[in-house]
Chains A and B, each alone.
Chain A
């Protein structure tokens, strides 16, 4: 057996004989299993619930009686964001974003009923998921198991003995690294098996999972390298332990919380009240359909009459009220898009600040990699919001067109007792409306979105590897 394998075997044997280490490892495995199981069933439950709600909403929409199209514009449509299979691995921001949305004419509502507002304060302590276990808990276990790997040998003087027996510094460190690597891999295995189980789900694509697997293994490898580096550089094992715990607390707990706060402070998001007021202001400037003297709508009216060669709106072959609704919706939707884009731009700047902090905390890079690959990050939510808005606009304009073409202007403006009946269009129309179907990002898109995070983690791994090489070189040279 090579010296490296011998040293690795010795180190592993030592860990196996250490009762505390074995218990800690067993607890981690147990925790991962619980996380996989609970996260899996949680996702399943949520996905089922949302699918059920979505079906109920779609059925209710289709079951509407004959109605005036504008009624349906305000009856609107409830949509629910479906949850991808990988959310069972990393639920990401799902709990923090509302998952249901009410779509109606000339209003853009918020996504409501996120778990975070329906849960106790415990939800802010973090969510139990395989991703959480691998990101936060597993590195600490590796610290416990590996902090003394080299420091112990030096403290007890066995380092010299080993070297005198012809073991090189490189072999020693490589052996220890191999042993810790085996533990890291074993610790990651249940989560990875969970990931593979998800892969068997319909709708799950292998490419993002591959990126996830590589990312997490690289991250754990990074911790192994860092642990050995500290263990080789710090003279006493207690100091190595404290330094590693501090490093862990700073990079996985402190910085991931601190960076968002700084980002929020640097780039402030406009609140809803200000946005609504600003949209209303812009809308008044562009054209107020309520104002008979409004220049925009006066011009619109003139152009419409000219197009149809009519003298009065009453003479138009189409319902002028429907045309007005179409034009009004076009204006408001353009504003919604503009303000939403602005808001997302600010959020993107905020996220860029946080991403910058991955220079001091690889956990941030891993988290963004993980959420991006799982499709549970902000851009996943944005995808939902944008598709929702596109659907809303298409639905509302379809209804407006229906009003323009299917409801006579004379009926629409009549107030007599039978007018209500005449304004309505046939219920079959509602069933003909397409339902909302969320198109999740494709595997290529997800994997691509995860690449920057992966690159940062790999960069960290390379840098830590270089540092370990340096620490190995210095090992035994001192004193």
Chain B
């Protein structure tokens, strides 16, 4: 044990290592604070929904109650959905800065609504977020390089290597001890602040342990790389340059190359094509006999087929029906689009097995539910909620029941759908 204390003292007496460990801890804490602030902002904007929504829906109700028309209620009422950040989201913000946290939908065609984004400054999003994942994936390897590139070579260059090797507790065991001390300090400066932040954010113990293990594994990968370069017995300078080059390659260049390759290999039919097709499908209804629209709608939704026939005047039954028909028309394209996105994500994930930088980022964003998959799952929840909205309004519309002020309170609420269906 006392040998480790000696090594610790020796290490911390060096300005470079003291500075490096302190800096890593500071960066970790700053990144955690930034992530927690970002997540807090998202939670605050979710918490602000009910007040804004109440104001908005009351104004709609004021108008609708004059006619008690359920179709107008369906047309004018926006219903909020939201995607609360998972407890671990603060550590890896992932796509949450470019994908909406809140989306309001109406019981009209969903495909024209579900891809809407929220307001964000693209220039801020462009360089990527300063979060814990960034510190771990991008910066931590540089600290590993700073502390490990001259682990052996510095002793050799200073002429101490022989002296140390000739001591009974010198030799390989010495390098192992020094590696362990450096590893432990780096790990602690990442893991300790993280664990505290995670506890504050209420992250489950299993997820915390998983991230702590991930930190260790990623550090060990870079330590292994430094050891491999060290075995070549080059000088400290050559080691540092080689490792920094490897970092550049593994963290910056290969992922960007892979991104180009994946986008090429897995072409995704532009979402815009779906939007265009949906619009045509919906608007065509105005130019074809209404009966055709209703036949198609009732065939797919026989539960409403007994509804009273349309008159010659405008009727919301028909309006909502052709919106739903429009969604149904593009459903196959939507499935293909979604599958394409999932394939891209899966390809990147597969690359993660070969490329630790990508692997760690993928694992963290998955644990934090901030990846593309989480976004698609949010869309799935919106779809489920939207289906419930349609059922709700159809229940009035197709039975010709009047829609009263109190009925606004009976509309489905997103709370019931907000729970992530873990699977």
User: Which 9 A-B residue pairings sit nearest by Cβ, starting from the closest?
Assistant: A120-B348, A415-B313, A125-B255, A93-B122, A122-B259, A260-B124, A96-B122, A128-B256, A100-B272
Interface string of B109-146 (1 = CB under 8 A from A): 00010011111111111111110001000110010011
- Partner of B41 from the list A109, A123, A268, A371 (CB cut-off 8 Å) is A268
Q: Quick one: which of A67, A140, A273, A354 contacts B124, CB cutoff 8 A? A: A354
List which B139-165 residues lie within 8 A (CB) of chain A.
139, 142, 145-146, 150
Chain A residues with CB under 8 Å of chain B are 20, 24, 31, 34, 38, 42, 49, 53, 56-57, 60, 64-65, 67-68, 71, 74-76, 78, 80, 92-93, 96-100, 102, 109-128, 132, 136-137, 140, 144, 148, 237-238, 241-242, 245-246, 249, 253-254, 256-258, 260-261, 263-265, 268-277, 280-281, 284, 288, 290-291, 343, 347, 350-351, 354, 371, 377-378, 381, 415-417, 419-420
Closest to A80 in B: B272
| Known A-B contacts A112-B271, A126-B255; A97 and B344 likewise in contact (beta carbons under 8 Å) | no
CB neighbours of A291 from chain B (8 A): 63
Residue B183 CB within 8 A of the other chain = no
Report yes or no: A237 in contact with B124, Cβ–Cβ below 8 A: no
Q: Are A20 and B272 in contact (CB under 8 A)?
A: no
**Chain A residues, CB < 8 A from B47:** none
A238 touches B240 (CB 8 A): yes
Q: Which residues of A contact B242 (CB under 8 A)?
A: 20
- In the assembled complex, 5 residue pairs joining A and B whose CB atoms fall closer than 8 Å, in A order, are A78-B272, A93-B123, A121-B372, A140-B245, A245-B145
Mask, B250-292, CB within 8 Å of A = 1, is 0111011111101100001011110110011001001100000
Closest Cβ of chain B to A420, distance in Å, is: 8
| Segment of B198-206, B358-366, B383-391, B397-405 engaged in the interface with chain A | B358-366
In the complex, chain B residues whose CB is within 8 Å of the CB of A281: 55-56, 59
Q: Is the CB of B287 within 8 A of A417?
A: no
Q: Which residue of A lies closest to B125 (CB)?
A: A96
CB distance A277 to B348 under 8 Å? Answer: no
Query: Across the two chains, which residue of chain B brings its CB closest to A339?
Result: B119
Closest residue of chain B to A245, judged by CB?
B244
Interchain CB contact under 8 A, A276 and B260 = no
- Hey, which chain B residues are within 8 Å of A246, CB to CB? 142, 146
Interface residue B299 (Cβ < 8 Å from any Cβ of A)? no
Q: Could you say which residues of chain B place their CB within 8 Å of the CB of A74?
A: 283
Contact residues in A for B59 (Cβ distance below 8 Å): 280-281, 284
**Cβ distance B107 to chain A, nearest Cβ, rounded Å:** 16
**Interface assignment of B180: CB less than 8 Å from any CB of chain A:** no
Q: In the bound complex, how far is the Cα of B332 from the Cα of A112, in angstroms?
A: 20
Q: Tell me the smallest distance from the CB of B375 to a CB of chain A, in Å.
A: 7
Q: Is the CB of B312 within 8 A of A416?
A: yes
Selected from B63, B78, B98, the residue in CB contact (under 8 A) with A116 is B98
- Among A42, A74, A257, A270, the one with the most B-chain Cβ atoms within 10 Å of its Cβ is A257
Nearest CB on A from B331, distance (A):
18
By beta carbon, the residue of chain B nearest A71 is B286
Q: Which residue of A lies closest to B290 (CB)?
A: A420
A121 and B256 in contact, given A75-B283, A272-B119 (Cβ under 8 angstroms): no
Interface string of B33-49 (1 = CB under 8 A from A): 01001100100010011
- Of the candidates A24, A111, A113, A288, the one having the most CB atoms from chain B within 10 angstroms of its own CB is A113
Min distance, Cβ A41 to any Cβ of chain B, angstroms: 9
Which residue of chain A has the shortest Cβ distance to B242 in the bound complex?
Answer: A20
CA distance A99 to B275 in the complex (A): 13
Question: In the complex the two chains form, what is the Cα distance from A120 to B261 in whole Å?
Answer: 11
With contact pairs A260-B124, A273-B80, A377-B123 given, residues A120 and B344 touching in the complex (Cβ less than 8 Å): yes
The verdict on B325 contacting chain A, using a C-beta distance below 8 Å, is: no
- Give CA–CA (A74, B78) in the complex, Å: 17
Q: Are B56 and A277 in contact (CB under 8 A)?
A: yes
When A119-B259, A127-B256 are in contact, do A97 and B116 touch as well, CB less than 8 Å? no
Task: Identify B276's interface contact among A56, A118, A128, A277, CB under 8 A.
Answer: A56
List B contacts of A100 (CB < 8 A): 270, 272, 275
